[in-house]
Amino acid sequence: GNSVTQMEGPVTLSEEAFLTINCTYTATGYPSLFWYVQYPGEGLQLLLKATKADDKGSNKGFEATYRKETTSFHLEKGSVQVSDSAVYFCALSEGETSGSRLTFGEGTQLTVNP
């Protein structure tokens, strides 16, 4: 079956540091890949997505590239801010046969200190 593996957290960075959160996946077909962010006490918000190999998703300074050869979708940001402190989830969605199913990683807690 499908699975998503994220780097273990929590991750603590200083403001303006470079961020990488690793995400790798296992899927039988050609999934769409997503990063979601969850701020304390809130639901998940879509951060970015990529629907085919070599696509780059980007939003709010965050980027991730769909790498089929390494089955990865790592999240990066060049300079983090305190307001980026949240939990980040990598997820995949594959094919009409799976209906609307999203498979999530366990989440990575990011804390950015001033």
Partner 1 sequence: NAGVTQTPKFQVLKTGQSMTLQCAQDMNHEYMSWYRQDPGMGLRLIHYSVGAGITDQGEVPNGYNVSRSTTEDFPLRLLSAAPSQTSVYFCASRTTLFSGYTFGSGTRLTVV
Residues at the contact surface with partner 1, assessed by CB under 8 A: 4, 32, 34, 36, 42-46, 49, 51, 89, 93, 95-96, 99-102, 104-107
CA 109/CA 21 separation, integer angstroms: 10
Closest to partner 1 by CB, 40 vs 114, is: 40
Residue 103 CB, nearest approach to partner 1 (Å): 8
Residue 114 CB, nearest approach to partner 1 (Å): 27
Closest to partner 1 by CB, 70 vs 100, is: 100
Closest to partner 1 by CB, 99 vs 114, is: 99
Residue 111 CB, nearest approach to partner 1 (Å): 17
